[in-house]
Each structure stands twice: as C-alpha cells, then as structure tokens.
C-alpha cells in the first residue's frame, strides 16, 4: 500500500501521501515496515520537522487464541500524536489535519489537483481555491485568495496568475482533499482557510470577550459592504462592525480591515479576478495580524452579485474558505447569493 513512500531519495507524490493519510483516518492497520517508512517520510518534510515530530500508530498486537481485546484498546481513530515542540497532545484527527496542511505547503499546487501547468480538467475540482503565499523578511507570511469572475475555472485562474508573474500560486481543493474530511477543518459544506501549519488562523481577542472586527469601507455606493458586514455579525463568536473609511479605526485593541474598490482591470493579477482578500499571519501562522479586501469594478455585475462578492471576501477575512454549496456566499465563484449559510456560522463559532 505504501510502497511509494519507501524510496528515501524521491519525494512522495501528493496521491501517495493522501493514500497514507486516508488509511490512518480510517484506522487502517499498518505493518511495522509501513509504519516506519511513513514516519520517516513525514519527518523528512522541513515544514513538518519544524512544527513537531509525528508518531505513526503501531499495528495492533495479536492476542493468543481464546483471549478477547478489552473495549477501547488498540489502534484506531483514538490513536494520538504527540507534538514535541509544545508538549501538548492533540487527537489523531487534528494532527492529521495539520499534516495535510503541512504537506499542502510543501507540494506547490495543492493536494490531488495538479500543477498550474496541468492540462485543463486534469484532477480538477471546480470548487477549489486559488491562493498565493509569500514568506516576508520579518518571518511573517502573506496569503492572498482570489475570487474568480463568472465563468472562470479555478485551475484556469491559477494558470493565468502564474503566467502573469504572481509568485507562490497554489490550487487548494476544498471539496475533495483530505483536510476537507477532517472535522477540525470543516462543518457541513463550510471550510476553513488553512495556513501552512493549522486549519484555522484566529484574530486575537486583545482583552475583548470576542475579537472585534471593523470593516472600514472605502468602496463606492454600488458595493453593499455595510449590509454584508451586518449579516456576518449574526455569528456569536466574532463581532463584525461597519465603519466608513473617514471615521478611522476606533481603537488599537480592535482589528480594522479596509475594503477597497476600483476598476483594477482584467490583466496581470486581476486577470479573471473579481475580488481578493490579502491577509498577514504571524511567523507561526496561527494568528492573523492584518488584512484588506479589494473589489474589482471592471467586471461590473448586478447589486446581488456585488453583494455576493462583498460577503464572500468578508468571510475570507474572518477565516473561512470556500463553501461547497451554492446556498452560501462563500461558494467558490460569484453568484447572486447574498448571505452565508448556517454551516459558515457554525464553523466560525467552533473556533471563537
């Protein structure tokens, strides 16, 4: 099963790693050789080594004839991994979720999706997310997520961005990859926006009962940003406030996110892009320290479509990725759906 992981000189393919992780998630009983090979290969990834050392479950021991295993014993979904960096233990599901994100960061174009140069339709999921990631000189990380214009497929957009010189572009499959199947990274049809080390990047509380988000609107009156913010404020885990740009940021303990709007055009980084959200993460990629939204006027649209785009980008700022349901404004591309769905709210409340 894991024979492709046994060659130390060649990196495992995304499909090999997916197969291994799927087996672990299902409680598959690994042989000792398979266990050691998998452990060695996972530890070989720099991102994984920097985070912590994974312990792969050992195979169940055989019992003598006539003996019965007591309930709850053996290896399965309850098997645990120990993170040596922090000393804390997390469940097998959460650790695997982190490993998937780590592997996704090492493999340039996501899990099971292929590269930006792959042939159209090859291993493609239309609900995938198009992102770019850059490591800054001070150790922080900048991530950008791009919302395709109507009729633009994510894989095509990834190819365009790469051809136009955008660095670190990745196609992350939010519908079918392993992380989408791990409870820590999803709820129903909703998905989190992962970082290189974790499923979800939080905004700090800064002494408040809930993180305080102030969206300073610099867009024109065609974009219903205020109404989109009001809807997101219905979640109980994080507070979202609308504020005009001229009103400024009310406090140093709140998070102010500027919403820009312009006719950015249809070339370069904006080729096929109707909106983007850019966020900055701390060096550990566990907290979001800043973000802004840009809405592209060049693609026009109805009021409902513009509302959809504003709602979509605000959801990214709060920490969500694409929703696989068209009943949510977090669906991968522009629609006329103006609101998040219940799964989006529940997933946010899982982390706040």
d(CA 108, CA 167): 11
CATH architecture of 114-351: 3-Layer(aba) Sandwich (3.40)
Buried/exposed 217-234: b ≥16 CB within 10 Å, e otherwise: bbbeeebbbbebbebbee
How many degrees, rounded to 5, is the angle at CA 169 between CA 163 and CA 173?
120
Question: ∠ at Cα 56 (178, 99), nearest 5°?
Answer: 35
pLDDT score of 153: 92
User: How far, in Å, CA of 145 to CA of 96, rounded?
Assistant: 24
User: What residues form DSSP beta bridges with 260?
Assistant: 294
Q: What is the b/e burial string over 245-278, where b = at least 16 CB atoms within 10 angstroms of the residue's CB?
A: eeeeeeeeebbbbbbbbeebeeeebbbbbbbbbb
Average pLDDT over residues 236-256: 97
2-54 tens-digit pLDDT: 343 434 444 555 555 555 555 444 443 445 565 566 666 666 655 454 444 44
* Cα–Cα distance list, 109 to 112, 128, 150, 155 (Å): 9, 11, 22, 10
**What DSSP element (H or E) covers 143?**
strand 141-148
299 vs 273: CA distance, rounded Å = 8
Domain range summary for the chain, segments of one domain joined by +: 3-62+78-104, 114-351
Average pLDDT over residues 170-188: 62
pLDDT digits (tens, 9 = 90+) for 68-127: 444 444 434 333 333 333 333 344 444 444 454 444 443 333 333 333 333 334 434 566
Q: Rounded CA gap, 259 and 158, in Å? A: 24
């Amino acid at each position: 099963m894991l024979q492709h992981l046994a060659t130390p000189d060649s990196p495992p393919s995304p499909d090999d790693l997916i197969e291994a992780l799927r087996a672990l998630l299902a409680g598959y009983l690994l042989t000792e050789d398979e266990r050691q090979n998998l452990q060695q290969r996972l530890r070989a990834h720099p991102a994984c080594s920097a985070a912590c050392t994974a312990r792969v479950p050992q195979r169940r021991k055989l019992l003598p004839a006539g003996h019965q295993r007591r309930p709850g014993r053996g290896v399965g979904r309850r098997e645990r991994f120990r993170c040596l960096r922090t000393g804390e233990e997390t469940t097998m599901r959460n650790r695997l979720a982190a490993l998937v994100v780590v592997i996704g960061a090492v493999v340039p174009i996501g899990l099971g999706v292929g590269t930006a140069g792959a042939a159209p339709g090859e291993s493609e999921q239309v609900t995938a997310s198009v992102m770019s990631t850059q490591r800054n000189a001070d150790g922080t990380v900048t991530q950008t997520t791009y919302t395709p214009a109507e009729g633009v497929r994510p894989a095509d957009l990834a190819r365009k961005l790469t051809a136009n010189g955008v660095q670190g572009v990745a196609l992350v499959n939010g519908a079918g990859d392993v992380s989408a199947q791990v409870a820590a990274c999803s709820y129903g049809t909703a998905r989190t926006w992962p970082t290189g080390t974790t499923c979800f990047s939080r905004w700090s509380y800064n002494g408040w009962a809930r993180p305080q988000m102030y969206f300073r609107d610099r867009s024109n009156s065609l974009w219903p940003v205020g109404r989109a913010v009001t809807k997101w404020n219905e979640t109980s885990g994080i507070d979202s406030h609308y504020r005009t740009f001229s009103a400024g940021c009310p406090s140093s303990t709140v998070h102010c996110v500027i919403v820009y709007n312009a006719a950015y055009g249809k070339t370069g980084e904006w080729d096929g892009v109707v909106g983007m959200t850019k966020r900055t993460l701390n060096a550990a990629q566990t907290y979001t320290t800043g973000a802004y939204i840009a809405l592209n006027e060049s693609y026009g649209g109805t009021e409902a479509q513009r509302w959809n785009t504003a709602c979509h980008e605000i959801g990214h700022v709060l920490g969500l990725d694409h929703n696989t349901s068209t009943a949510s404004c977090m669906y991968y591309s522009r629609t006329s759906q103006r609101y998040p769905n219940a799964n989006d709210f529940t997933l946010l409340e899982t982390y706040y």
